[in-house]
Amino acid sequence: MDEFFHSIEAARTIYVLGIINLVAGTLIFFTCRCLPGSKIAGRLTNHSLYKRLFRYHCHIWKVFIPSVGVHALFAIMLYGWPG
Protein backbone atom coordinates (compact mmCIF):
# COMPACT_ATOMS: atom_id res chain seq x y z
CA MET A 1 0.00 0.00 0.00
CA ASP A 2 2.78 2.41 0.98
CA GLU A 3 4.37 1.79 -2.45
CA PHE A 4 1.26 3.14 -4.17
CA PHE A 5 1.40 6.48 -2.33
CA HIS A 6 5.02 6.91 -3.53
CA SER A 7 4.11 6.08 -7.15
CA ILE A 8 3.87 8.49 -10.10
CA GLU A 9 0.11 7.80 -10.21
CA ALA A 10 -0.22 9.10 -6.62
CA ALA A 11 1.88 12.18 -7.45
CA ARG A 12 -0.33 12.82 -10.49
CA THR A 13 -3.43 12.46 -8.29
CA ILE A 14 -2.07 15.07 -5.81
CA TYR A 15 -1.33 17.41 -8.72
CA VAL A 16 -4.71 17.07 -10.47
CA LEU A 17 -6.61 17.39 -7.17
CA GLY A 18 -4.48 20.42 -6.29
CA ILE A 19 -5.61 22.12 -9.49
CA ILE A 20 -9.24 21.11 -8.84
CA ASN A 21 -8.88 22.60 -5.32
CA LEU A 22 -7.66 25.87 -6.81
CA VAL A 23 -10.43 26.12 -9.43
CA ALA A 24 -13.26 24.98 -7.14
CA GLY A 25 -11.97 27.21 -4.31
CA THR A 26 -11.94 30.23 -6.63
CA LEU A 27 -15.46 29.46 -7.93
CA ILE A 28 -16.74 29.09 -4.36
CA PHE A 29 -15.20 32.43 -3.41
CA PHE A 30 -16.73 34.29 -6.36
CA THR A 31 -20.16 32.65 -5.99
CA CYS A 32 -20.35 33.30 -2.26
CA ARG A 33 -23.60 35.17 -1.49
CA CYS A 34 -21.58 37.70 0.50
CA LEU A 35 -20.04 38.97 -2.74
CA PRO A 36 -22.82 40.22 -5.05
CA GLY A 37 -23.18 43.30 -2.84
CA SER A 38 -19.46 43.98 -3.01
CA LYS A 39 -17.52 46.01 -5.56
CA ILE A 40 -15.53 42.87 -6.52
CA ALA A 41 -18.46 40.90 -7.91
CA GLY A 42 -21.06 43.66 -8.16
CA ARG A 43 -20.58 44.00 -11.93
CA LEU A 44 -20.31 40.21 -12.37
CA THR A 45 -23.94 39.78 -11.39
CA ASN A 46 -24.96 41.34 -14.72
CA HIS A 47 -23.50 38.40 -16.65
CA SER A 48 -25.72 35.35 -17.38
CA LEU A 49 -22.73 32.96 -16.95
CA TYR A 50 -22.16 34.34 -13.44
CA LYS A 51 -25.89 33.98 -12.63
CA ARG A 52 -25.72 30.33 -13.75
CA LEU A 53 -22.53 29.70 -11.71
CA PHE A 54 -24.08 31.41 -8.69
CA ARG A 55 -26.87 28.82 -8.73
CA TYR A 56 -24.31 26.00 -8.54
CA HIS A 57 -22.53 27.36 -5.46
CA CYS A 58 -23.75 24.59 -3.13
CA HIS A 59 -22.84 21.90 -5.67
CA ILE A 60 -19.29 23.24 -6.07
CA TRP A 61 -18.79 22.53 -2.35
CA LYS A 62 -19.56 18.85 -3.09
CA VAL A 63 -16.50 18.81 -5.39
CA PHE A 64 -14.22 21.05 -3.29
CA ILE A 65 -14.44 19.29 0.09
CA PRO A 66 -13.77 15.68 -1.11
CA SER A 67 -11.05 16.98 -3.46
CA VAL A 68 -9.17 18.77 -0.64
CA GLY A 69 -9.70 15.72 1.59
CA VAL A 70 -8.28 13.18 -0.86
CA HIS A 71 -5.51 15.61 -1.92
CA ALA A 72 -4.46 16.05 1.73
CA LEU A 73 -4.69 12.32 2.45
CA PHE A 74 -2.43 11.46 -0.48
CA ALA A 75 -0.02 14.24 0.51
CA ILE A 76 0.17 12.99 4.12
CA MET A 77 0.62 9.37 2.96
CA LEU A 78 3.45 10.60 0.66
CA TYR A 79 5.30 12.83 3.15
CA GLY A 80 4.01 11.53 6.46
CA TRP A 81 2.42 13.58 9.24
CA PRO A 82 4.47 16.74 9.90
CA GLY A 83 6.54 16.78 13.10
28 and 61 in contact (C-beta within 8 Å)?
Answer: yes
Of the residues 4, 7, 19, 62, which one makes contact with ligand HEM according to CB under 6 A:
19
Instruction: Find the shortest distance in angstroms from Cβ 51 to ligand HEM.
Output: 25
Residue 40 touching ligand HEM (CB under 6 A): no
- For CA atoms 23, 28, 54, 51, give the dihedral sign: negative
| Contact (CB, 8 A) for 50 and 44 | yes
Among 7, 22, 37, 62, binds ligand HEM (CB under 6 A): 22
Three-state DSSP class for residue 22: helix
Q: Tell which positions 51-80 bind ligand HEM, by CB under 6 A.
A: 68, 71-72, 75-76, 79
